[in-house]
Amino acid sequence: MEDDITRTSRPVVVTSYQPHWVDEFAQIGRHIRDLAGHAAIRIDHIGSTAIPGLGAKDVIDIQITVSDLDEADGLTNPLRAAGFRQGTTFQYDAFHKKPETDPELRKLFMREPEGERRAHLHIRELGRFNQRYALLFRDYLRSSEDVRAEYELLKRRASQLFPDSIDGYLFLKDPVLHIIYQAASLWAEKVSWSPDEDYL
């Protein structure tokens, strides 16, 4: 995230939960599976659109898990050939107190083909912190109605304060994600959580 949090960028709109998000993920995910085959270990619906009852920006977030990011051409090449964009350079997720280029945060990022339903593809390595975090965050919010409701309230207020700046929106939201992670980690230990087998 850039230091200038007021930089104008795409509008930020948080909408009420839409049940059709699940079906849209399934359609995109099956297409990815057809293109990538066994290069993808698992294809998961992540982010707020994957959490029933939670308002979200209307973007389908998908996590594609691979065994080795350095050998991900078998995944990214067929996706790019089918029109998916980007995925040529490594990016790093941001997480408080972890170095900016920590291997545990490394990923490839791709977007939907031009003109198609907006979707973000996060390609992450099996067992890394960021790969596990996305699934843990999703499952914890699915399990906690109170946390889910307060998180949505925060997102709506952040979008009201920064309606034209995704960077400003994230500036407010990101620290809360780290707080939720701490609670989710305790919950995971209590329930002996592990990623389920419900993926494409």
pLDDT more than 90, % of the chain: 87
Q: How confident is the model at residue 11 (pLDDT cuts 50, 70, 90)?
A: confident
DSSP 74-103: HHHHHHHHTT-EE-SS-EE---TTS-TT-G
| d(C-alpha 122, C-alpha 109), whole Å | 5
Is the pLDDT at 47 greater than 50? The verdict is yes
Across the chain, where does the E strand assignment appear? 42-46, 60-66, 85-86, 91-92, 106-111, 119-125
Q: What is the mean pLDDT of the chain?
A: 93
Domains contained in the chain, CATH given: 20-191 (3.30.460.10)
Is the pLDDT at 50 greater than 90? The verdict is yes
Instruction: Give the residue among 53, 33, 18, 45 at the shortest CA–CA distance from 135.
Output: 45
CB 35 within 8 A of CB 79: yes
Q: How confident is the model at residue 10 (pLDDT cuts 50, 70, 90)?
A: confident
Average pLDDT, integer, range 60-73 = 97
pLDDT at 156: 95
Average pLDDT, integer, range 11-32 = 96
Maximum distance among all Cα pairs of the chain, rounded to whole angstroms: 44
Average pLDDT, integer, range 109-119 = 97
Segment 149-169, tens digit of pLDDT: 999 999 999 999 999 999 999
Average pLDDT, integer, range 93-120 = 95
Residue 54 CA, distance from chain mean position: 14
pLDDT at 9: 60
pTM of the model: 0.92
Task: Return contacts of 111-114, CB within 8 angstroms, 24+ apart.
Answer: 111/84, 111/85, 111/86, 112/28, 112/84, 112/85, 113/82, 113/83, 113/84, 113/85, 114/83, 114/85
